[in-house]
Chains A and B, each alone.
Chain A
Amino acid sequence: MTIPSPYLLEALIIRKVFDDFVALDDVSLKLARGSFHALLGENGAGKSTLVKCIMGYYHPDGGNILLDNKEVSINNPRDAHNLGIGMVYQHFTLIPNMTVAENLILARPHLPAMIDWKSELAELETRMATMPFKVPLQSNINTLSAGEKQKVEIIKQLLLDSRLLILDEPTSVLTPNEADEVLGQIKGMVDDNGLSVLIITHKFREVTGFADEVTVLRRGKYVGSCKVAGTETKTMAAMMMGSEVIAEPLARAETKQNETLLEIDQLSAESSSGETAIESLSLNVRAGEIVGIAGVSGNGQRELVEVLAGQRDIANGSIRLHGETFDATRRQARLHNLHCLPEEPLKNACVPNMSVAENMAFNNFDIPPYALKGLLINRGRIRERARTLITQFKVRTETEDTRIGALSGGNVQRAVLARELSGDIDVLVVANPVFGLDFKAVEEIHNRIMAARNNGTAVLLVSEDLDELLELSDCIHVISGGKLVYQTTPSEADRSVIGQHMAGH
């Protein structure tokens, strides 16, 4: 008779290599039965790769996966489901125009060709009684809030009899209050029902608040694992970041906040589906100040930034720069030194197939000395300037002629920063500037934004990361349903009050 292993899942010396890039370098993870285990690491540390190896999306180049002390081979996600491993993804996988019940029933494997909805619904209702939280079965998915959708995703996995639930950054789309509620209920299931949970995160708050154990990865390597109780956040941070030197946060300089540079006046705009996304929104940003906009994604932030970036038409209202109405032309943007750093810069501000040098010249390829007489492109000058910017902004690229799509996320962001932050900037619009970047890049980019502010730039910072807003902003607005609903300053801010306003209460 074998001694039962205390571990439900063991992933031992897993190795995964892409081309010649080692994504996982003999990483191990041991997850005790009935525990809430956090997988902690910066972006690019290999957390997602490891989980994808466990789920069968990737085939590891080395190592074993043991479930209940028995080696298993998981070739695809279906195998993982059959073994009782379920995963909730960062983004929703629900069908928006169907009801919750329909979504839950359709997720079942081996559905018959004809579905007997009546009996399926009856069975679903009995099973729902055993679930940790309630969801409105008859509602359409698109009427649910993000938190409710997240709950449906989790219930979907629980209905599939998952013993092990893997959550990939489950709180990135939730308000702080919703996040606490969902994680708290999952924690309850771990304690009461013997569910095991593996949660991918980079937020210490979630680790210390809910997890029993933590495993830390750094740059594809296993750093260590420990019990959360009795481990200081500082220790975990050190494990996560290693000996990397992180720039000191740049101090907020006293600036004379006088002239209002950006005025948004009664602005309305529609979303891509034609619904009102922003409604009569008014906002001023003065020189030398960072105005932050907090909110759960999907409350009009994207549309607001798109309007300012020229990617969306104004339905009503106006934007004024230096007191003059802005007509969104290239000439005026240049005249008023308006610059934008949109989220997902590769998708929003770059042409992936053009070179780094070409991408860096989008703002000035049509003026001398980069264009002779404003007509003929001088590629030599464009490349020369790109080389300077690459050094100055520490963009890691083979040459300036490499296509920008081949760079890592942080380096694309640095390249776009180099383009937008060199030269005079009067007004800067920034959206989720550090999404998906590692600590080093985050600190560096925050410092550049702060430096611009200290030099008298009016900065509008739209972010879904409350910590980022509290660190950088002089003043924070909360956006909900396309309107600014609450205003505070970082020194007076109360997380839960902000959270309530984000949720629209």
Chain B
Amino acid sequence: MNNVLRIDRLEPLIIPMTALLFALILFAIFITLVGADPFGVFHSIYRGAFGSWFSWQNTLVRAAPLMLTALCTALPARMGLIVIGGEGAFVLGGLCSALTGLMLVGSPAWFAISMMMLAGAITGGLWIAAAGALKYRRGVNETISSLLMNYIAIAVMNFLIIGVLRDPATLNKPSTYPIDEAHMFVDIGNSSIHWGLVVSIVICLLLWFLSRRTVFGYAVDIAGGNERAARIARLPVGFLVLATCFLGGASAGIAGMIEVAAIHGRANTSLNAGYGYEGILIAFLARHNPLLIIPAAILMGGIRAASGLLQRSHDLPDATSLVMQGIIFIVILGSESLYGRFKIFRQQHSSERAVA
């Protein structure tokens, strides 16, 4: 039985792929309505995202933080929580890692980078764990609380960089003082891709391993699948909620750290660029599987990278790629309700009912 290609195993692949195709058709209709040529637009998106080594580099640089912010939604989702606070964890993680970097100016690069990463991870982790604790202890809806906490995080950062942490030299764009040049992430070889991409992929792989191969991941699967069953097995449900939220938040915090250490060199409002929100879309696209997040993030990073080209060659506004992402998000979310609806995927079950 096991060596036969089982169509019911393909369900989690076929449904999102079909949904993606459907979303592209909807987007094509939108493009036609605003008076552009959809095939030309799709071609440009492809060229801008994956058409050349240059566009690939652009895509991968954008994909790196998206992988990590996606984990911020994906890990708690395995526990049945819908956390959308990646933006807040990203911003605060970036801010705290920049501050840590400022305190460590002149120290060895490996040490400073590790400490900055740790600071980003702990800040982001505690931030999302707070939403988890509110949910577990007080029953506060984690989706609402994590969303509102995004605004708090952004406000805190703005308050600090306009106020006490401001480098007086930054006039138009208030920022912290820059971190030590020597502590910045360098590019891989002579590409424009920084080492943050490698860090992001490694974290995705590690968390995939954690959720698929370890006792911790198994316990999360039980508690996320049925809390009552987890309680009867006397698993520490509260700890699991906090731990998954912490790990998710830590990933987003590290993304903020990478953004600071690889791109801006300091913390400023550029951190608040929507990577956290885009991560939500990627997590759902990848069905909360840390391994599938890697290709999903590359796809979305590509769309982001292509938006400039759309503007130049089709005279479409910058927001066009946001419209596309929005359509994809809605269609993917809608497709979640289709699991188990198609007869073709249930052949195995029906043959079983006959013997039962």
| B221 neighbours in A (Cβ, 8 Å) | 351, 354, 358
Interface string of A349-376 (1 = CB under 8 A from B): 1111110001000110110000100111
Total chain A interface residues with beta-carbon distance under 8 A: 42
- A408–B356 Cα distance when bound, in Å, is 6
Binds A, one of B111-119, B223-231, B244-252, B292-300: B223-231
Residues of B within 8 A of A329 (CB): 234
Contact of B234 among A333, A348, A350, A406 (CB under 8 A): A333
Our pick among B229, B235, B343, B349 for the contact of A406 (Cβ within 8 Å) is B349
* Complex alpha-carbon distance, A397 and B356, angstroms: 8
A310 within 8 A of B: yes
Q: Once the chains are docked, how many angstroms separate the CA of A358 from the CA of B222?
A: 9
Q: Are B354 and A21 in contact (CB under 8 A)?
A: yes
Partner among A309, A363, A377 whose Cβ is within 8 Å of the Cβ of B215: A377
B173 at the binding interface (Cβ < 8 Å):
no
Q: Is A342 in contact with chain B by the CB < 8 A criterion?
A: yes
Measured CB to CB, the closest approach of chain A to B294, in angstroms, equals 22
Complex interface: chain B residues within 8 A of A352 (CB):
225-226
Chain B contacts for A366, CB-based, 8 A? 215, 218-219
Residues of B within 8 A of A351 (CB): 221-222, 225-226, 229
Count how many chain B residues have C-beta atoms less than 8 Å from C-beta atoms of the other chain: 31
Pairwise interchain contact B233-A330, C-beta atoms closer than 8 A: yes
Q: Is B1 an interface residue (CB 8 A)?
A: yes
The reply to whether A365 and B215 form a contact with Cβ atoms under 8 Å apart is yes
B348 within 8 A of partner (CB): yes
A20 touches B351 (CB 8 A): yes
Given contacts A349-B228, A351-B221, A363-B233, contact A402 B348 (CB under 8 A): yes
For residue B353, CB closer than 8 A to chain A, the reply is: yes
- For B219, what are the chain A residues with a Cβ–Cβ distance below 8 Å? 365-366
Min CB–CB distance B326 → chain A (angstroms) = 29
The answer to whether B214 touches A407, judged by C-beta atoms less than 8 angstroms apart, is no
B residues less than 8 Å from A311 (CB atoms): 228, 231-232
Kindly report which residue of chain A lies nearest to residue B235, judged by CB atoms: A330
Whether, in the assembled complex, B355 has its beta carbon less than 8 Å from a beta carbon of chain A, the answer is yes
Q: Is A255 an interface residue (CB 8 A)?
A: no
Closest to B353 in A: A21
Judge if A19 is at the interface, Cβ distance under 8 Å: yes
CA distance A366 to B217 in the complex (A): 11
Enumerate chain A residues within 8 angstroms of B353, measured Cβ to Cβ.
18-19, 21, 406, 408
Contact A377 B346 (CB under 8 A): no
Cβ-closest chain A residue relative to B212: A377
Bitwise, A308-331 to B at CB < 8 A (1) or not (0) is 011100000000000000001110
Q: Is the CB of B232 within 8 A of A309?
A: yes
Give residues 441-477 of A contacting B (CB, 8 Å): none
Among A19, A371, A374, A376, the one with the most B-chain Cβ atoms within 10 Å of its Cβ is A19
CB atoms of A377 and B213 under 8 A apart: yes
* A381 CB, min distance to chain B CBs, angstroms: 13
Query: How many residue pairs, one in A and one in B, have C-beta atoms under 8 Å apart?
Result: 97
Interface residues of B in 1-59 (CB under 8 A from A): 1-2
- Let me know if B313 is at the binding interface, CB within 8 A: no
In the assembly, what is the distance between CA of A374 and CA of B214, in Å? 9
Residue of B nearest to A333 (CB): B234
- With both chains docked as a complex, state the minimum distance between the C-beta of B102 and any C-beta of chain A, in angstroms: 38
Q: How far is the CA of A406 from the CA of B149 in the complex (A)?
A: 40
Q: Is the CB of B225 within 8 A of A353?
A: yes
Judge whether A362 and B215 touch: CB under 8 Å. no
Neighbour of B356 across the interface among A353, A358, A411, CB < 8 A = A411
Q: CB-nearest residue of chain A relative to B356?
A: A408
- A374 to B343: give the CA distance in the assembly, Å: 40
| Identity of the chain A residue whose Cβ is nearest the Cβ of B216 in the assembled complex | A375
CB distance from B221 to the nearest CB of A (A): 6
Residue ID in chain A nearest B237 by CB atoms:
A310
Pick from A20, A310, A333: contact of B350, CB under 8 Å:
A20
Nearest CB of B to A360, in Å: 12
Instruction: Note all chain A residues with C-beta closer than 8 A to B228.
Output: 311, 347-349
A8-44 vs B: 1/0 string, CB under 8 Å?
Answer: 0000000000111100000000000000000000000
What would 20 more interface pairs be, CB under 8 Å, given A351-B221, A371-B215, A408-B353? A18-B353, A19-B343, A19-B346, A19-B349, A19-B350, A329-B234, A340-B232, A348-B229, A351-B222, A362-B233, A365-B215, A375-B214, A375-B215, A376-B213, A376-B214, A376-B215, A377-B215, A398-B352, A401-B2, A411-B356
Q: Can you give 24 A-B contacts (C-beta < 8 A)? A: A18-B350, A19-B346, A309-B232, A311-B231, A328-B234, A333-B234, A347-B228, A348-B229, A351-B221, A351-B222, A351-B225, A351-B229, A358-B221, A365-B218, A365-B219, A371-B215, A377-B214, A377-B218, A396-B355, A398-B1, A402-B352, A406-B348, A406-B353, A410-B356
Binding site for B on A (CB under 8 A): 18-21, 309-311, 328-330, 333, 340, 342, 347-354, 358, 362-363, 365-366, 371, 374-377, 396-399, 401-402, 406-408, 410-411
